Amino acid sequence: MSLTQTLPDGKRLLPAVGLLPAAILIIAVVLTFIEPRFLSGQNMLNLLRGASLLMIVAIGQMLVLIARGFDLSVGATMALTSVVSASVMAGLGKTLPPELVSLLGILAGLGAGLLVGLCNGLCVAVLRIAPFMATLATASIIGGLALLLTNGIPIYGLPKAFITIGRASWLGLPAAVYVALLVVGLMAWIQRATALGVHLYAIGGNPYAARVSGLSVLRSQIGVYMASGLLAALAALLLTAQLGSGQGSLGDGIALKSIGAAVIAGVSLHGGVGKAHRVALGALFMLLLNNAMDLLRIESKAQTIVMGLFIVLVVAMDVYRKKGKTA
C-alpha cells in the first residue's frame, strides 16, 4: 500500500499533506489544555482574521508556484496598496461622498496590485529574468516607494464607510473570513472545472510541451503574477480597513509565510502541483503555529528563528517529494 496520495493530475503528495488537518486539530487540542486564552473569543477572531488574510495571499502565491515561479513581492505589494488606497481616500475625503471615496480608494489599491503583478510578469515572461530575482527586485523597489511616500508615518483620515468593511462581522465571523472563503471556493472551482485550471497545470508541469500544444505560456505567466498582485492587494485593503490607516510597513514577512503555507499544503516549488483548498489549510496551520508561539510568550526574535526553520523543513519536503516522483 502506497504512503502517498495521488491527485487527479497524476502527481503524488507526501503523507504529511494528508495529515495536515490532523496536525491542525492536534495543535488546537494541545493549546486548549495548556493555554486557556486560546479559546477566548478575541483570540479566535484574531486567528481567523489573520488566517483569512494569509489564505488570500497564499492562493495567489500558489498560482505563481504552479506556473514554476515565485512571488517575493507580495508583502511589498500589500504595503504599496495600503499607501496608495489610503492616500487617495485621505486626499478626496473632504470633496466627495464617503461611499464614492471608499470605492475610488479600493479601485486605486487594486490597480496598484495589478500593476505590480504586470511588472513581475513582464520581467519573468518577456525579459526572462529568474522569478526569484525579478520579484526580489520588485519587492525592494515598491517597498522602498511605499516607505518613501509615507516617511514611515501612517496615513489617517480614511472614511468610516471603508473602515467598517475591515471591522464588520456577520454571524460572529470577520468579513475577511467570507472574502477568503469566496477566493478559495472560486479558485477551487477554476482548478477543477475549467480549461484555465487544466492549462495552468500543463504549463507548470512542462512549459515546452504546453507551448508546442498551442497554449499561450507567456500570457499565462503574466496572468498568474497579475492574479498574485491582485490578491495581495485585496488582503492589504482588508487589513488597511481593519487598522484604519495606510501603512508603508504592511505585509512584512508575509512572502515567506505564503510560500510556506503553499508548500506545506503540497504545492510544488517545481511547478504543476497545487490545490486551493489544501493551501487554505496550510495558511490556517501557519497562523495557528504563529498564534501558539504568541500565546506561549515566545520572544518575537525566537519566533523568526522557528519560522525560518519551518520554511527550511517544508522546502526539504518538496525536494523529497520531487525525488519520490523521479525514483
Look up residue 249 and give its three cell numbers.
510597513
| pLDDT at residue 327, rounded to an integer | 55
pLDDT by 10s per residue, the chain, length 327: 333 444 444 444 444 456 788 888 888 898 888 888 888 888 899 899 999 999 999 999 999 999 999 899 999 999 999 999 999 999 998 889 999 999 999 999 999 999 999 999 999 999 999 999 999 999 999 999 999 999 889 999 999 999 998 888 888 889 999 999 999 999 999 999 888 888 899 988 888 888 888 888 899 999 999 999 999 999 999 999 999 999 998 988 899 899 989 988 889 888 888 899 999 999 999 999 888 888 888 888 888 888 888 878 777 776 776 665 555
| pLDDT at residue 21, rounded to an integer | 87
Look up residue 20 and give its three cell numbers.
495536515
Residue type, 197: G
Q: What is the DSSP track for 74-115?
A: HHHHHHHHHHHHHHHHHHHTTTS-HHHHHHHHHHHHHHHHHH
Distance CA 264, CA 324 (A): 16
Query: Is there a contact between 233 and 114 (Cβ–Cβ < 8 Å)?
Result: yes
Residue type, 47: L
β-strands 173-174, 169-170 pairing = antiparallel
Supply the Cα-derived Rg of the chain in whole angstroms.
20
Look up residue 141 and give its three cell numbers.
523597489
Query: Is there a contact between 74 and 57 (Cβ–Cβ < 8 Å)?
Result: yes
| pLDDT at residue 141, rounded to an integer | 96
Query: pTM of the entire structure?
Result: 0.90
